[in-house]
Structure 1
Amino acid sequence: MALPPASMALALAEQGLRWVAITWVNHAGAPLVKVVPLAGFEAAVAVGVGFSPVADAFSADGAIAPGHRLARPDGDLRLRADAAALAPLEPANGWAWAPGERYERSGAPYAGDQRHLCRRQMEQLERARVELRAGFELEWLVASPAADGTPAPAIPGGPYGADRLVEGLDYATALLEALEAAGLPWLQFHPEYGAGQFELSLAPGTPLEAADRLVHARLVIQRVTRRFGWRCCFSPKPSLERVGNGGHLHLSLVRDGVPLLQGGEQEAGLTGTGAGVLAALLAELPALLALACPLAVSYRRLATGSWSAPFQVWGVENREAALRLVPTAADGAPAHLELKVADLAANPYLLLGAVQAVVADGLERPRPLPPPVSGDPSGLPAGAAARLPASLAQASAAFAASDLLREALGEALHGALGDSQAAEVRRAADCSEAELVAASAWWPVVGGDRLKGGQAGAPQPATITRLRPAALAA
């Protein structure tokens, strides 16, 4: 049983912790924060701290999107810290962290809160006696700004190379120590394929735990990287020449204690119920893509033949399938699904909330599952594998047309997300490929670097102006 907030705060104070950073993630995928002293943590749990609804109208560049339904000065919300998720952030310097959920001043849950959606969908599955476990993989580039401001890999070494680990061993040591000091359980860490790229696999948990761990881990990674004088780049496409960064989502399902993705008589051991869930996810993939890949630049990563899985297919251990089934084997690990198309611009609470809604629909309304695809779907005859949306505009249209997601999210949240997607489409509309990638290279906006021309790592002022609303660029 979790300790009450006052007892938790006392326990953390005894560890030398003094401040709590309370975060939530907006529609642009950026974590936002309010800080309270540890002595004020109990009030932050019970009453919360103020936060304007306008923050969900922020675009990926940090500017307020004109025409967004939340782009107004009216109203206020209370961001309440979740005491059960309180954890260290950087304990050596006195910092703790907690995720927050937003409430109306009346005390009612705010209909547009992303973490509340994730919690509500999780509770719905639990009432149906279904346990969904989830975990994220994070990919990021460790970089320094090149002369033109674009990310240049800071740690040498080959793809998956032990040489890169050894070259960056001080960095790896500091990072893994920081993750463990923050209480973040992880499964695997390694150099990735791209130059200067690394990957971290977080341990699975409930959907809320999985989303919280992703947010928490990104903060720790960012902090450790900056301590070395480098930048961590989570952008889906840091440059035109290099591979992108994914944020793959792994899922397992159990109902009444029985795994649904193994032990059955269908393909690769799927049960009939598990196949129905997979079919539902497959059918809703175009709509889910607007949440899994919410930036215009996300779709530059989803290129054919690049192991980014841009086709609406599933496969058994096929890394070019948007839904990859990893069956149980001699290692005894439970079978699970991997959503390959997601990247780290996704708000993890929104993504997991929507995925859970689709899972619930697949359990209630099973549908036939098409055969799995082997090999690269781009090599199949024309029409054999449907291409997923190739742009945010296409994905947003599918999202708008999904009655399932509209009902699950509610009109307020669904509509505000549509406005945010439209703002991102407009932001990128007049950009060349190179301009779009350069303007998103250091996503997310951290410390306003991309809104202040001339700083290291920022694009040139002309690019900034082009991507900002005219009213704010003046």
Structure 2
Amino acid sequence: MSYKAEYIWIDGTEPTALLRSKTKILADGAEPPVWGFDGSSTNQAEGHASDRVLRPVFTCPDPIRGGANVLVLAEVEETNGDPHVSNTRALLRPIAERYAEQDSWFGIEQEYTFFKGSRPLGFPEGGFPAPQGPYYCGVGADTVFGREIVELHLDRCLAAGLKVSGINAEVMPGQWEFQIGPAGPLEVADHLWIARWLLYRTAEEVGVEATLDAKPARGDWNGAGAHTNFSTRAMREGYDAIITACEALGEGDKPAEHIAQYGAGIEGRLTGAHETAPWNKYSYGVSDRGASVRIPWQVEVDKKGYIEDRRPNANIDPYVVTRLLVNTCCSALEKAGQV
């Protein structure tokens, strides 16, 4: 018997990378090998030297095809084995290893929006729905759109063994969220990319597009983010480490460094309205969804826990965001002796 291995990789499209995939048929019992592809068709090579390499890094059951079939997430390499310039996972690995003893955990809240044609799902043709208010965690055909896709996507994520921890309808019609985590920096990012691929494939089956656009509808509508919850062992054990991490994220050029890599179109989403802080001003606060970084109220009560960075866009590269948070916060905690 043979089985199908769907190789999935992140391409070189800018400013927001796309997912690509193709199928390899393997003999029963064979491990997914290193493979290749035409990088000139994915913004990762020029035609005169177009071969690029796919190196498997994470494999899980394929919940769409079922059986013994698998999904294979791969890093992109040059033919000499060096990481391709688009391979941000390779940049995360040494940082994750450098601070592994601090035991970083992440939970990423992936917001997204369904589109049918040129309009968000639930937007009437030639007009607009009632203002936002009843849609967040809503129920009923007049407030919720696309639930059948969301439920099937959730089932498929669970069947694939991904660390999905929940779903909910969001503030705008056709806008939803799923959460991945808690998990370490590499694992949470790997699982998020596979969950995104499964979302696109599931919506594709019914002719709907799922977009990570940070501001999918102009006007008085919430944008789409990827709020990133973060902690280290020291933060989960004491409040001083929480404050150290929050302060570190606001020091010097750190706010600008993070914002520049927190997703395309961030200025259109982080306006200071719609539960956001202005993109060019850093702040943190307890239970404050208008701050750059929120300390949940229960964390202040318990004097330990985690923080929520509310700045990342829906269209982030999770390898980049986890690298930035680990590097900034863990280095500050190490310097402060709070490890």
Same fold, judged at TM 0.5 (above) = yes
Partner residue of 1:79 out of 54, 65, 68? 54
Name which of structure 1's ranges 224-233 and 211-220 shifts more when overlaid on structure 2: 224-233
Partner residue of 2:104 out of 126, 132, 135? 132
Distance between the aligned counterparts of 1:31 and 1:132, measured in 2?
27
Measured at CA, do residues 339 and 38 of structure 1 come closer, stay the same or move farther in structure 2, by a change above 3 Å? farther
Matches within 5 A, 1:236-315: 236-241=214-219, 242-254=221-233, 260-264=234-238, 270-271=239-240, 273-283=241-251, 284-293=254-263, 295=264, 297-310=265-278, 311-315=281-285
Which residue is 1:117 aligned to?
A: 91
Measured at CA, do residues 173 and 112 of structure 1 come closer, stay the same or move farther in structure 2, by a change above 3 Å? closer
AA of the residue aligned to 1:173 = E
Distance between the aligned counterparts of 2:301 and 2:201, measured in 1?
35
CA radius of gyration, larger in: 1
Deviation at residue 229 of structure 1 after TM alignment: 2.9
Deviation at residue 308 of structure 1 after TM alignment: 2.0
Pair 1:96 & 2:53 matched: no
Which residue is 1:343 aligned to?
A: 313
Distance between the aligned counterparts of 2:260 and 2:79, measured in 1?
30
Which residue is 1:174 aligned to?
A: 152
Matches within 5 A, 1:54-453: 55=42, 73-74=48-49, 76-82=51-57, 84-92=58-66, 96-110=70-84, 113-126=87-100, 129-145=101-117, 149-153=118-122, 158-163=135-140, 168-241=146-219, 242-254=221-233, 260-264=234-238, 270-271=239-240, 273-283=241-251, 284-293=254-263, 295=264, 297-310=265-278, 311-326=281-296, 328=298, 335-366=305-336
Measured at CA, do residues 173 and 51 of structure 1 come closer, stay the same or move farther in structure 2, by a change above 3 Å? same
Structure 2 gap segments, 5+ residues each: none
Distance between the aligned counterparts of 1:291 and 1:44, measured in 2?
32
Distance between the aligned counterparts of 1:263 and 1:133, measured in 2?
13
Distance between the aligned counterparts of 1:101 and 1:171, measured in 2?
28
How large is the Cα RMSD of the aligned pairs? 3.3
Distance between the aligned counterparts of 1:73 and 1:363, measured in 2?
48
Distance between the aligned counterparts of 1:118 and 1:74, measured in 2?
27
Measured at CA, do residues 42 and 48 of structure 1 come closer, stay the same or move farther in structure 2, by a change above 3 Å? farther
Aligned length: 321
Measured at CA, do residues 112 and 328 of structure 1 come closer, stay the same or move farther in structure 2, by a change above 3 Å? same
Deviation at residue 170 of structure 1 after TM alignment: 3.2
More strand by share: 2
Q: Indicate the SS of the match to 1:183.
A: coil
Tell me the TM-score normalised to structure 1 length.
Answer: 0.60
Q: Deviations over 1:321-354 (max 9, x none)?
A: 1111226569989711111011122111122222
Distance between the aligned counterparts of 1:104 and 1:133, measured in 2?
31
Distance between the aligned counterparts of 2:40 and 2:232, measured in 1?
34
Measured at CA, do residues 313 and 74 of structure 1 come closer, stay the same or move farther in structure 2, by a change above 3 Å? same
Tell me the TM-score normalised to structure 2 length.
Answer: 0.81
Q: Deviations over 1:57-112 (max 9, x none)?
A: 7xxxxxxxxxxxx7785464422011x44342523498532221233433344565
Which residue is 2:4 aligned to?
A: 18
More helix by share: 1
CA contact (8 A) 2:145 2:173 kept: no
CA contact (8 A) 2:110 2:314 kept: yes
Structure 1 gap segments, 5+ residues each: 1-9, 58-69, 255-259, 265-269, 368-474
Distance between the aligned counterparts of 2:304 and 2:48, measured in 1?
49
